[in-house]
Each structure stands twice: as structure tokens, then as C-alpha cells.
Chains A and B, each alone.
Chain A
Amino acid sequence: MKPAPFDYAKPASLEEAFSLLDGHGEDARLLAGGQSLLPTLNMRLSAPAILVDISALEALRGISIDNGMLRIGALTTHTELKASKEVARAAPLLAEAASHIAHPAVRNRGTFGGSLAHADPAAELPACVLALDASLEIAGRGGTRKVAAADFFHGLFETDLGPGEILTAVEVPVLRKGFRSGFAEFARRSGDFAMSALAAHGRFDGERVHELRLVYAGVDIRPVRAQTAEQTVEGKAVTADLLADAMARLGDDLDPMDDPHASGVMKLHLSGVLLGRVLSAMAGAHR
């Protein structure tokens, strides 16, 4: 289908973008890569009066490392995230997860900021920023604020972004000594949204794992931490018995709903399989 008519503006500065958002209120939508927004317009699920294309805003571009922080501009595409040397070194989890997003042609346009702002419950990057304890930089008329990833995702396609606000960048602490991450997912076909995806990040000393964060996508209305499973493994060596124990407790953390792609029971099972695979790989990589 074709979208309903809309107007289009491409501001050259954040100031200009804020004026457009102020002027049009609810009728305006930001356009980044368009890979989530344009399908919904084409299907006429929404019909904004004007699209504000943020792709010319230089403040939203670039990847840099400064003071132990990796800063990734909101307009960074999934392809750029996957290819960046800085990301590979400072936050390899993001590069690994990016290769699971959609297909090359979609990754060439879809952006990091767009994925977080869209907040699809099955999307990979929201789970990753939660696992990495990232902080999100949000700009508005009144200035810039920072929000922890843990406070950003409110619900199904709902975030902490208020009217007139623009997500400008993501800041991730540079990978510290002893820390490792892992990612895996189950999707029906390569590039589909995940039935369950797991982003994990934690510290290893010898065999033992500490401060582990296990974040699942695709199993709830937003990315969720499996805290019971995290506590089960805290401070322990990763063995087959420990993994079996953690998997058995995953039901305390996750209560996936049925969807057209998989039943809740199947998703819970798959989530356990991911836990075993990802943690074994992380522990194995350390040896």
C-alpha cells in the first residue's frame, strides 16, 4: 500500500528540529532510517502530517571513545555498528547483535537511535544497552538529559522520550578487564525478529562469573533481566550442573506470552537453551 500524504522537512540543526516539533506537536514524527516508520506508514497504521528527517543533524553522528566511555551517535546505522573498530573493541556485544538485525539492505539504513526509540520488544539493541548498563542522551528544547537504559524502556513501543525530544547518542562504558559478553537468538528465519534473544554481560575471574546481566528480548513487552538466574550463577564456576539449575529457575524471571510465531512455553524453553549456549561460550572463551 501507499502511505497517506504527508509533508516533509529536513532540518539542518537541532534548534530547527525542535522548532518543527514544537510547531507541529502530535502531528510530527521524526524520521531516521525509516526502516520501522515507513512500513507502518505504508500499511496506514499511522498517518502523521509531517515527517521531520533528522539525517542531516551532524550532532547525532559519529562513534568515539573518550574518558572510558564509548559514544555512539543515534544516526549510526546497524551496518556501521557492525563494522566499527571502536565498537568491536569497547562493546563487542553491540557488533555481534547488529549482525542479527534484519538483512543487509535494511541494516544499511536502520539506525541505533531509531531502534531504541522504536522499542520493539523483540529488537536486539534495546536488550544490549540494558545488558551493558548504557546511558542514553536525550536532547530537548530545555537542554540535554541522560537516562539509564534501565529507565528508558517503559513498555510495548513505549520509552522515556517525551514530546519534542530527540535521542542523540548512546554512551557505553568501555569493556573493562575480565568482562565478557555474549549474544544468541532464535528466529524463524535469518533476519526475522527473534522469538527469544539473549544479551549477556559479566565478569569472569578464572572459572567464576560475577555481576552477570542476562537480558532477554522477544519474551515480554520490553527487554527483561533474568535476575533469579543471574543470582543463581553469581560467584560460581560455570558447570553443566549450574547451567541446569539456572535454566530451571528461568521460569521465575520470564513469563512469555504466546504469539503467532511461538507459544509461551516454547519461548521459555528456547530462552533456557540460549542461557546454556551463551554462558558456556562466554566461560569457554575465557579459558
Chain B
Amino acid sequence: MTPSREISVTVNGERVTVRVEPRKSLVDFLREDIGLTGSHVGCEQGVCGACTVRLNGAIVRGCLTLAVQADGAEVWTIEGVSDSGEIAALQQAFLARNALQCGFCTPAMLLTAAALLKENPAPTRPEIREYLSGNFCRCTGYQAIVDAVESAASDMTGAGS
């Protein structure tokens, strides 16, 4: 056993202080210690993308970041960006376009798509595919996901102009 560490992390705007083992991943900390189970765990080796969360403003693999590395940081999960309404247009588009079936990949897809639209508000289909290439979906075949991101982008840029 290695001694646990006290860490303070601002999760979805609320500061939490918890003791964790150094080996605990950020996504396990969020799921097990905070009870936020919207971030999923698939491969635990960085390949599937299901564990995507936002750390200090940038999307990261929750399975390849240690909870202790997030000490003092700001983390946003799907629960937070959903409640704040930030990704409402994307969520609406995913629903309208049938861009989810089992939903396992969806929280990470939404966070990744939101990061894309922030960098590039009007991406082409190849740009959408490229940006989402690190997020696996075993159900939809991706077409509907690309459709949804494309339509959310045009709704959002349309609404903004």
C-alpha cells in the first residue's frame, strides 16, 4: 500500500477535497469518489476515448491522467456541461439525428465535439471525422454522429449571426 494523498479539484464549478491513492485515475476518481458516472471507462489504455473529460479547459483521457495530477485543477464532466446548457445544441442534434444507440460513447463524443466547435465553428465533414478519430463508437457507424455535429455547427453559427 502507498499512502493516499489529499487533493483539491474543482469539479463542475464545485471544489472537492478528497484523499486518493496515487495510482487512481482521474476518471475513476470522478466515478467512484465523486459519484459522477457520466464519464465512462472502456480500454484504460488511451485508445477508445470513452473517458474523455475537460481538464483546465482542454479535453484529456481520464484514464491516462492521474487524480493526483489534477490537484488544484478545474475539471468539467458531461454532467457539468449538460447542466450548464453549454452543449444543448449538440445534445439536441445527437437526439434528432439518432447519433446514439447504447450511449456508452456519447458523453465523450459530446465533449470532444464541443472542443472541436470551439476551435473550429464551421468544420467540414473530414475535419469532424479527423477530430473525433480518437473516440470509438461500436453502435452507430459514425455517419449519424458526423451528421449531428455538422448540423449542430450550422445551427450554432446560424444562431450566432
Query: Shortest beta-carbon distance, B86 to chain A, in Å?
Result: 18
With contacts A104-B59, A105-B134, A108-B59 taken as known, whether A38 is within 8 angstroms of B22 at the C-beta atoms is no
Q: Tell me if A104 and B134 are in contact (CB < 8 A).
A: yes
The reply on B10 being an interface residue by CB < 8 A is no
Min CB distance A19 to B, Å, is: 19
B125 CB within 8 Å of chain A:
no
CB contact under 8 A between A106 and B134, given known A5-B21, A7-B2: yes
Q: Tell which of A4, A79, A191 touches B23, judged by Cβ atoms closer than 8 Å.
A: A4
Name the B residues within 8 Å of A3 (CB-CB): 23
User: Could you name 26 residue pairs across A and B whose Cβ atoms are closer than 8 Å?
Assistant: A2-B23, A2-B25, A5-B2, A5-B22, A6-B2, A6-B23, A7-B2, A8-B2, A8-B66, A31-B69, A34-B66, A35-B46, A39-B46, A39-B64, A41-B23, A42-B44, A102-B46, A104-B116, A105-B52, A105-B61, A105-B112, A109-B60, A109-B61, A189-B133, A190-B130, A191-B134
CA distance A51 to B65 in the complex (A): 13
Q: Can you add 15 more A-B contacts, CB < 8 Å, to A5-B2, A104-B134, A105-B52? A: A1-B44, A3-B23, A7-B3, A7-B22, A8-B22, A34-B65, A53-B68, A103-B133, A103-B135, A104-B116, A106-B134, A108-B59, A109-B60, A109-B61, A190-B133
Q: Is A43 an interface residue (CB 8 A)?
A: yes
A to B contact number (C-beta, < 8 Å): 90
Give per-residue flags for B15-47: 1 if the beta carbon is below 8 A from chain A beta carbons, else 0. 000000111010010000000000000001110
Interface string of A160-184 (1 = CB under 8 A from B): 0000000000000000000000000
